[in-house]
Amino acid sequence: MSFFYSVLNRKVLLLVLLLSGLGLVQIYSASYIFSIEKYNDGLFFFKKQVLFTLIGLMSLLFIATVSWKWARILGISLWVLSVLLVIVTLVPGIGVTAGGAQRWLDLPFGFRFQPAELFKITSPFAFMYLIALKEQSFFDQRPFLFWVFPAFAFALPLLVFALQPDFGTIVLFFCLTLSVVFVLGLKWRYICASLALIGLGMYLMVVFTPYRMARIKAVMDPWSDPLETGFQVIQSMISFHSGGVFGVGLGHGQGKLFFLPEAHTDFTLAVFGEETGFIGFCVLLTLYALLVYYGMKIALRTEDLLQKVLAFSLSMVFAFSTLIHIGVNLGIFPPKGLTLPFMSYGGSALVCTFLLFGWLLNIEKHNHFLY
């Protein structure tokens, strides 16, 4: 496998394997009691996560080893597929509702798939494709299409996310879009105008949706309603506080004993913080920071503009997903329903994260000789 010849790729792959292994331990610890109570099998979620990890690793190796031409075609094709599947989630009788949101599709053998996860990691290919058309002067004679294409490509799935509802994915996508246009050197007046427009849209989506407004108030003052809207934030903070510096020990956390809601998904970081303490929390953040750093380094090392944009965008998807989850668990952001890469239970998110790093490894494989 030629991507092993790059020292940077070996570092990325090592970190991915380390975090995925750590994630399996975390899923076992965070879900064991809940699995026994609900399924009479303490390894129910763990066994599924092992399967997802194996599928993800095979997907990563496949993407990393194919030619860049096929990796690019596959990425664009999966983006188109993700848009179609996101729309399908709203079709009655096909889309699956859980937790008050219609975001999933049923798969054989009792599995579910969340198309939003595929959309998140493949949307950078849409940016890349748009830039490629612009570089080829496609829009010179068709300036109107320069606005129609992204409006159709991105507005439709975002509208579906609003209807599901999936506010977390909308926030992540807007953060990704702003970071990309900033790096590409869009004029400040356009960036400021975009910020104002996005900010207004976010404000309207919050103030006209009572439960979102309640979540904002819960973050500002969780003790005003400790048994309802502030319950999640309070329990998460209690878990972090209980962990102290060194933690209570793996498997000995109390927050996962039905105090923390969704302890193996949305609030898995709080469980990890309680059991490993401040030191474990800092080590985990360091691993995530290194992956983002190496992703950015891959973007800087390539001379091809499209690969550069893609590597940067993929790194930002990973970074924003991690930051939003951390912010929710620390009580900085209201709950968004975004998982923590590698550490939260969920096959859709895990396999898609492996795919993300497969594309990064593929880009570096073709460019490691530049430095």
Tokens 């930051």 belong to 323
Tokens 């993800």 belong to 56
**Structural contact between residues 300 and 144, judged by C-beta atoms closer than 8 angstroms:** no
365 contacts: CB under 8 Å, gap ≥ 6: 2, 3, 5, 6, 9, 64, 65
pLDDT of residue 151: 66
The pair of three-digit structure tokens given for residue 116, joined into one six-digit string: 């939003």
Question: What values do phi and psi take at 140, rounded to 5?
Answer: -60, -40
Tell me the per-residue pLDDT of 14-40, one tens digit each, with 9 for 90 and over. Answer: 999 999 999 999 999 999 988 998 888
Distance CA 195, CA 188 (A): 10
Q: Say what the pTM is.
A: 0.92
| Alpha-carbon 275 to chain mean position | 24
What is the tally of structural domains in the chain? 1
Work out the number of other CB atoms within 10 angstroms of the CB of residue 197.
11
Tell me the per-residue pLDDT of 305-352, one tens digit each, with 9 for 90 and over. Answer: 889 999 999 999 999 999 999 999 998 888 877 889 999 998 999 999
| Alpha-carbon 312 to chain mean position | 15
The pair of three-digit structure tokens given for residue 140, joined into one six-digit string: 């010179």
Work out the number of other CB atoms within 10 angstroms of the CB of residue 328.
26
The pair of three-digit structure tokens given for residue 320, joined into one six-digit string: 């924003």
Question: What values do phi and psi take at 177, rounded to 5?
Answer: -60, -45
Tell me the per-residue pLDDT of 200-222, one tens digit each, with 9 for 90 and over. Answer: 877 777 777 777 777 788 778 88
Distance CA 207, CA 3 (A): 49
**Structural contact between residues 50 and 17, judged by C-beta atoms closer than 8 angstroms:** no
**Cα dihedral 118, 121, 123, 129 in deg (nearest 10):** -120
In the chain, what is the greatest distance between 2 CA atoms, to the nearest angstrom? 65
Q: Give CA angle at 352 (347, 354), nearest 5°.
A: 100
What percent of the chain clears pLDDT 90, i.e. is strictly above it? 42
pLDDT of residue 369: 47
The parent domain of residue 347 ranges over 2-370
The pair of three-digit structure tokens given for residue 317, joined into one six-digit string: 């998807």
| Alpha-carbon 370 to chain mean position | 30
**Structural contact between residues 310 and 359, judged by C-beta atoms closer than 8 angstroms:** yes
